[in-house]
Amino acid sequence: MTGDNMQKFSQSEWIEFWSNLKEGYDIFEDSKRPPNVEVKGRKYIFD
């Protein structure tokens, strides 16, 4: 999601989930390589 969409939907019950996915997307956009992903406590951890 874009920054504008993140702000537009900031009151959504899913914003935490979308914010977490955006972390991985941003890493991909910067490096042009998929990050390593783990799941801990119902949250994606990107490396």
pLDDT at 2: 86
Domain count for the chain: 1
Q: Which residue range forms the structural domain that includes residue 10? A: 3-46
- Over the stretch 2-33, which tens digit does the pLDDT of each residue have? 889 999 999 999 999 999 999 999 999 999 99
Instruction: Say how far apart CA 21 and CA 38 lie, in whole Å.
Output: 12
pTM of the prediction?
0.83
**∠ CA 18-15-10 to the nearest 5 degrees?**
125
Give pLDDT tens digits for 30-44.
999 999 999 999 999
